Amino acid sequence: MKVILNRKEQTCQVIREKGDRKFYGVYNAQGESKLLHAAKKELKKQGYDLIKKRMWKDGHLVDDIQQYIRTRKIPGFCIYNRRWSVRGAEEDYNSKGEVTLAVVDL
């Protein structure tokens, strides 16, 4: 898996490489959760101090199962699926081989 974080363009590309696993699961957004966890691990290797968390626990007015990756300390940034209400990020990752996530400064 290759993760390219571009804060200037406010995007985070997650690209599946040959031999990488696919992520599945609709119940409790399990597929997207596993994808975000794998992306978080790759970004930690790049030197970022990140956590994966449910968005509503930080006071965001979203569905209670939507998750995101954010920096441990605020101010910082967060990475989330902008199209969450339409489809999970794992669907594009599995079918197209890549998904673009939104990056927002906190």
Tell me the per-residue pLDDT of 69-87, one tens digit each, with 9 for 90 and over.
999 998 999 999 999 989 9
Model pLDDT, residue 74 = 85
Report, as an integer, the average pLDDT of 57-65.
91
pLDDT in tens, 26-57: 998 999 999 999 999 999 999 999 999 999 99
**Which element (helix H / strand E) includes 41?**
helix 30-45
- pTM over cut 0.85: yes
Q: Where are the domains of the chain?
A: 2-105
57/3 Cα distance (integer angstroms): 26
Contact indicator for 29, 65 with CB cutoff of 8 Å = yes
Pairing of strands 67-71, 50-54: antiparallel
Tell me how far CA of residue 102 lies from CA of 18, 19, 20, 27, 68, in angstroms.
Answer: 24, 25, 22, 23, 10
**Measuring CA to CA, which residue among 68, 66, 51 is closest to residue 103?**
68
